[in-house]
Chain A
Amino acid sequence: MKAEEFEPRIVAFLCKWCSSAGSDLAGVSRMEYPANVVPIQVMCSGSVSPLYIFSAFNRGADGVLVSGCHPGDCHYIKGNFYARRRLNMVKKLLEYVGLEPERFQMSWVSAAEGTKYTQIIKDFVKELKPLGPQTKLRRTR
């Protein structure tokens, strides 16, 4: 499939208090971004288990995004700090086994950063398109 036709499928884990709210704000402000991302709202980025990320790729996600509150802004005081550690390890591991680094990303998006959220999604989709479909980890059949 040619890169320009290819529409990456992205799963985004958004924390309820910052990133999901930020994404809501993007909506309220009628900003536009590609429809490739399907959001899953979690309570806190700290609750995103590595299992979610492996599982998403296993089910054929072309990209996975985890987004939480900025350090210090976590609604649960420090959940995002644990997420930062845990998911850094996951990222390093996935790169080590040869998955394209672009496919797994993490961001801090506050409830006030609708613009930032929009930009992140635009960039993410832009970076994934040239890579084509993620077939490495995907369950075949």
Chain B
Amino acid sequence: MKRTGVFICHCGINIAGTVDVKKVAQELSQHAGVVHAEDYVYMCSDPGQNLIIQAVKDKKLDHVVVACCSPNLHETTFRNASKAAGLNAFRCEIANIREQCSWVHKDRAKATQKATKITKSTVEKVRRNESLEALSVPVTRRALVIGGGIAGIQASLDLANSGYEVILVERSPSIGGHMIQLSETFPTLDCSQCILTPKMVEVSKHPKIKLMTYSEVQDISGYVGNFKVKILKKPTYVDKDKCNLCDECTKVCPIVVPNEFDLGLTGRRAIYIPFPQAIPASYTLDIKACPGLLPIACGKCADVCDVKAIDYDMKPQIIEEDVGAIIVATGYDLYDKENMAEYGFGKIPDVLDGLQFERLCSASGPTKGQILRPSDKKEPKEVVFIQCSGSRDPENHCAYCSKICCMYTAKHAMLYKHHVHDGQAYIFYIDIRSGGKGYEEFVQRAVEEDGVLYLRGKVSKVFEENGKVKVWGVDTLTGKHIEIAADMVVLAQAMRPSQGAQELAKKLKLAMDKDGFLAEAHPKLRPVESVTAGLFLAGAAQAPKDIPEAVAQASGAAAKAITILSQERLYHAPTVARVFTNLCTGCGMCVQVCPYDAIALKDGKVEVNEVLCEGCGTCSATCLRSAIQVKNLSQHQVHEMINACLGG
């Protein structure tokens, strides 16, 4: 006969105030298999825990139930106490009679009755628990970072500098992300490239970092501490070790396509280097643009390459890597101008988005830092900046606030004034959100020092009219209709999860929020962890962020990853699914429903990979023959709990 001990906590008056703990103890003492039942004012206190330890020893208890607060709070406390008394941790269970009983009821009799039932059902459960030891697995002490923007770069460097090998995967030919496109950064106005390139170089030179540009994560398997990753390395057709950056190839290349780096404000050749400081410093042959290699249609680039760096026979490679932790920093894209019906569907040449304007301002940009409007390369004298373009508009566009637009628009207006002193900058805004160190001061500076004109209100229409860009809006403060014949309009487009992030998220089994940003495990307490163990989030992939935030989160993610990588072995809850082989017919339904691919068919029966299994039990509800059940929460245990709940 099992010998169960029950301990009822008063929690001061938190429980005893509404639940008659003495009565509960007395009822439980009569419950079959309960050989000890007592109540105490604070079970979680040292004397309280000692009561348990003492009773286990004196009464030779083999199971313990503590009726107290939610298991989320003190389960560990009491399981450790039971351990100290010589029991296996899983011989102890918590009956939640506070949050789910005493705190939500007033009627003393009813609350007491309910507390009794909850405790009884917990007794029925615990007495059928088995002793379990945590599962442990060795850790692969390397990390994978997906995305070579500022967040990915920062995370990689932090990991590498802590002594862990890092594989940094970037899908475009160079790392640097959007930050490298920026001209200056708020609120300090220091040059973006100047502060980023040193980090990029550090990455490329770092012995612990294996940089894989022009590559994409194809498939991922395994589990925290032991992931297997398949990475597709796209062919660049240029051997970057041979290439001496002489730039002869681009001169002879007959093909011109829009240049992504300048967001189409300039063109590039089919063979190209994204930008001078690109890392890795090498050329890439864009096979989509190239007239073709099978058969070789042009071949000029190869002809002029003295160092024979160009290799048309380069093939895509699949590279497999083992890692213990993964940081996802896939960043953002701007919400496409073409979605903005009211602002001319992006068809008006002098209506730019924020990033295009950055390029215009940038010293390395298409205009070498002069602000000239695309249509006629004239200096715009009146520029209208429109905030919340596509943001905060649940009806038509994105419901959320893209967070950084207020600041960079202020920066844009300011930069414009620094370039065009006699120009006028207007900013249409809904609100100005300038929370952050030095941010509000920055906005004030734009207004006071640079005379930027802020107009509160939404722009209703933007259209071309004899060489000007007409902007119709309303100043909601004066209620006046406003019409501006601008030379140029800059839209602060909303931030969206970067292209293809969704597909990747599916491969990684990452949850996404309704807007497609990656979901964190807990909005407050676990902001850099994903719901899947071993996967961490950094940068704008998780939500719109400015640079300092992205960098901070990246370092946070790196630190979180290190908590895994720094371990010899990882421990995993042993309450996992178990197969009753004699009942299994191998129908494979459980294999299909398992969210973690933890179940596999092997000669007509299923097997559980205990390390992959998270113990959700969906398999057991699916199995028609109860042939697979979760340890310590078996269908039999639930069945007995049901009986106890219904007072029988």
Contact = CB atoms under 8 A, between A and B. Distances in A.
Instruction: Please determine if A and B sit in direct contact within the complex, based on CB atoms under 8 angstroms apart.
Output: yes
Interface of A: 7, 9, 11, 20-21, 23-28, 30-35, 38-44, 46-52, 55-56, 59-61, 72-73, 75-79, 82-83, 86, 118
Contacts of B642: 11, 40, 52, 55-56, 59, 61
B117 A38 contact: yes
Contact of B104 (A26, A42, A56, A79): A26
Nearest to B637: A40
B531 interface: yes
A76 B594 CA distance: 9
Closest 8 CB pairs of A and B: A47-B617, A27-B99, A46-B618, A76-B616, A27-B103, A35-B110, A38-B645, A24-B99
Interface residues of B, number: 48
B107 interface: yes
Given A24-B72, A59-B642, A43 B100 contact: no
B76 interface: no
Contact of B593 (A46, A56, A61): A46
Contacts of A20: 100
Interface of B: 70-72, 96, 98-101, 103-107, 110-111, 113-114, 117-118, 121, 509, 511, 514, 531, 593, 595-596, 614-618, 620-622, 626, 630, 633, 635, 638-639, 641-643, 645-648
Contacts of A47: 616-618, 620-621, 630, 633
Contact of A38 (B72, B114, B614, B617): B114
B621 A78 contact: no
Contacts of B639: 51-52, 55
10 contacts: A7-B110, A24-B70, A35-B113, A38-B121, A46-B617, A47-B617, A49-B621, A61-B642, A72-B511, A77-B509
Nearest to A138: B646
Nearest to A31: B104
Given A28-B99, A75-B531, A78-B595, A118 B618 contact: no
Contacts of A21: 72
Contact of A86 (B621, B626, B647): B621
A44 B616 contact: yes
Task: Give the most central of B615, B630, B641, B645: most A CB within 10 Å.
Answer: B645
A25 B365 CA distance: 54
B621 A35 contact: no
Given A39-B96, A39-B118, A72-B511, 6 more contacts: A23-B99, A35-B101, A38-B121, A44-B617, A79-B618, A82-B622
A77 B511 contact: yes
